[in-house]
Structure 1
């Protein structure tokens, strides 16, 4: 008699003790990165059916409860609060998903994104597990594996030099006089005046041209080279309202590494040509000539129409002095591009005074920053080039989609890796493994890889950490309720014990 009450009270003590243990664990991890609060749910134990005078057809079965037990301990996967991290590789997930980490074939999942690169360039968590992701090469992501910085043989992270292939110059060629003239070749007076063998290294003296503009380009070795465009007015009779300007593209004579040209008076001279403007100052024609590679480089007969680059700009091939020499194939656009030359003269020497023989571009198209020939000052409005020297990694960034981007000293921005997220059909089936890790089970299913920011996946924030989602106020409330429940069940046992003592006294 009364032993059932003792048993029931014991189940209450045990279950509420487990509840207090759960509360204590939540509070112990109130400052644990990525920790997910757990809720304990109680459930009744099987009841005992009793024989009574009640009619079960009208009142139902008569059952006596047998106590309480732990029904489930479920994880609350809601986001914790965000806090500032101390490194770019401190990552937080806003929304659904887990990072995947791996060590010696053991796969774990985590929300704690306090990652760092180790001495071998692997991105790891504090437990030495390597973060999983995809290396990106030339903008293409590879297969999933350890995320590692691309260290070279010197243990450095670099991007190779890229030779310049396209140069764009948008200028206004303003009012100027014809500073240098030629009796036989008015469109190539600057060409004839060029002297790359002067003692001062200046191939065109001051006052021999109306305007100059210099841009820095890069050869195949990553060496910086200066290209200068010299412009001068070309006096043409019967111009019909149009205006003509000759130009020479050159570099410092001592930087010229072309065989047969270096050290001569032609050193540094790379391209020559003309710009033709309409009466309203719009660029409507460009001609360009480059050295054919044979014969006297000072003879216009050996300068033929320039090839056009893939973008439709006049281009030239150049070898710059150095050990080893640097090369570059550069298309130079003044804002007008085309698909070919409509008038194909054999060489620049064939033009003479006849402006109608100047090559013009087929299908010419003017760009947004096309050079103009309006009255006023000469000025460079816009210029750009696409080359760069070798660069060293300066900084890292991770965007909301998990793309790790390297910022290099040469201004290059390059994708290095893609950090995916993983979701589960039943994330409540994950097993806690300690060290802020979870592992997949048969109940959770395998992790499904996806890109952060897409459907069903959260976004990633750099230099940010996710804190615990434990609500201290709520836990203290639960603590009071649990403590009272424990006390009440202990009272059941002590009261039943007193009843048993009375029975024992009756026996005596």
Structure 2
């Protein structure tokens, strides 16, 4: 009977609009929920088979809820470095299990980036999910995979101890006076690098410049560059030696703490002639470990009393940067500056997180060390993900499998530190939808009451 169909169509409309109102209510309730993705109700007509008669078989309507996971809320700045957001597509990999230093397989995906360190230093958000990342090895490299979850670890920012960085390069800037008289030790032929040298103090150098480097324990070690004007134009006899000499052990013919000897040569225009200069003065100095055996001939190692690790450093006299360094002009001999890399021992003072996903520990000695890299998980159809408690999503057949990517590559968004993603809910839109749904619900109830009045008329015909 068409009246019954009309009533059933009204009932289906009441059910559909009730579901739509529930969706709107949930959206409004989560307007301040971090990274909440609004849902939308799509209405679909129900069609019943029609007969050839003039009566109409009403089908009604049904409501289907659609997740709008692709939509992105605004990024709001915060004062906490570990508050994270993704600008673009993708999700953080998280786990409800706290497993620092161990592979994780129970992984979910979220855009709720309000992470903070717990009492063990693990980054966890307010829903109790622990942030997962790829660990950076001591060489600064990471082992990554788009699908291998076993490579992920719970991100811990307090497991890094203090560190010192040994120097790899020191630089001297200065000038040697081109008209310096030839030393009597040179003109008289008494100078000998092995038996009558500058390192021992037996011969007074025309220039004696000191520089320092950081050793493997973060201590400062002093070395000297002593130079004598040669009888040959534009050449300077040079010794590089440790001060004190007891800090190194040398193999003959090196003596008195020497780590290199030779001749510095300059061009007629006063610049360092790297081709003619003794290679040992410009190449890297390889100091063997203190615990090692006696150094081979012409090499040096740290003295056993220092307990230091092997170290290689280069003295930049102008051969590396091509700028500054040592020159020879007819101006007074003087050292302008010395610089060195490396650092003394320092404790962790904070962390920083870059847009490419690297989490780095910042030490109070100025050193920054990468410890983790955050992947961004992408899906072919993120709207097909299954929403779970705590603002996380899990893959389904509709969403497709995840792919863990470097931030900013392959369609993955970049990481924004000190930021949180706001809800994608627009209150104006939701209130407008609420009015429309309420009107539709009221109209549907009129269908039922009107159909009921019509049925009542039919029943009264029997009386």
Q: TM-score, normalised by structure 2?
A: 0.80
C-alpha contact 1:223 1:326 (8 A) present in aligned 2: no
User: Pairwise mapping of residues 397-408 of structure 1 onto structure 2 (< 5 A)?
Assistant: 397-408=352-363
3-state SS of 1:134 partner: strand
How many angstroms apart in 1 are the aligned matches of 2:383 and 2:266? 73
C-alpha contact 2:157 2:361 (8 A) present in aligned 1: no
Distance 1:457 1:193, change over 3 A: closer
- In the other structure, the counterpart of 1:128 is 128
- In the other structure, the counterpart of 2:68 is 75
Deviations 1:22-78 (A, max 9, x none): 01111111111111111110111232523425xxxxxxxx64322111134332521
Distance 1:189 1:9, change over 3 A: closer
1:422 pairs with 364, 374, 377, which one?
377
Could you list the runs of 5+ residues in structure 2 that have no partner in the other structure?
98-104, 145-150, 287-297
Residue 157, structure 1, aligned to residue 161, structure 2: yes
How many angstroms apart in 2 are the aligned matches of 1:287 and 1:78? 65
Distance 1:123 1:412, change over 3 A: same
How many angstroms apart in 2 are the aligned matches of 1:442 and 1:260? 69
Residue 497, structure 1, aligned to residue 452, structure 2: yes
How many angstroms apart in 1 are the aligned matches of 2:177 and 2:367? 35
Deviations 1:178-226 (A, max 9, x none): 4964263476699957586xxxxxx699xx6554433220223331112
Residue 249, structure 1, aligned to residue 240, structure 2: yes
- In the other structure, the counterpart of 1:279 is 268
How many angstroms apart in 2 are the aligned matches of 1:132 and 1:230? 54
How many angstroms apart in 2 are the aligned matches of 1:188 and 1:463? 63
- Cα drift, residue 136 of structure 1: 1.3
How many angstroms apart in 2 are the aligned matches of 1:388 and 1:410? 6
Deviations 1:291-335 (A, max 9, x none): xxxxxxxxxxxxxx7795389xxx963535855356645443423
Distance 1:330 1:51, change over 3 A: closer
How many angstroms apart in 2 are the aligned matches of 1:64 and 1:379? 104
- In the other structure, the counterpart of 1:38 is 39
Q: TM-score, normalised by structure 1?
A: 0.73
User: Pairwise mapping of residues 91-130 of structure 1 onto structure 2 (< 5 A)?
Assistant: 91-104=84-97, 105-130=105-130
Give the total of aligned pairs. Answer: 431
- Cα drift, residue 134 of structure 1: 1.1
How many angstroms apart in 1 are the aligned matches of 2:401 and 2:136? 25
- Cα drift, residue 463 of structure 1: 1.5
How many angstroms apart in 2 are the aligned matches of 1:378 and 1:481? 88
How many angstroms apart in 2 are the aligned matches of 1:27 and 1:191? 89
Larger radius of gyration: 1
3-state SS of 1:30 partner: coil
Deviations 1:447-499 (A, max 9, x none): 12222211221221111111111111111111111111111112222233333
- In the other structure, the counterpart of 1:88 is 81
Distance 1:81 1:186, change over 3 A: farther
How many angstroms apart in 2 are the aligned matches of 1:448 and 1:325? 45
Residue 486, structure 1, aligned to residue 406, structure 2: no
1:309 pairs with 275, 280, 284, which one?
284
How many angstroms apart in 2 are the aligned matches of 1:165 and 1:191? 30
C-alpha contact 1:429 1:441 (8 A) present in aligned 2: yes
- Cα drift, residue 83 of structure 1: 0.5
- In the other structure, the counterpart of 1:324 is 307
Distance 1:179 1:121, change over 3 A: farther
Distance 1:336 1:84, change over 3 A: closer
- In the other structure, the counterpart of 1:353 is none
1:225 pairs with 221, 226, 231, which one?
221
C-alpha contact 2:199 2:226 (8 A) present in aligned 1: no
Q: Over the residues paired in the alignment, what is the CA RMSD in angstroms? A: 3.6
- Cα drift, residue 168 of structure 1: 3.5
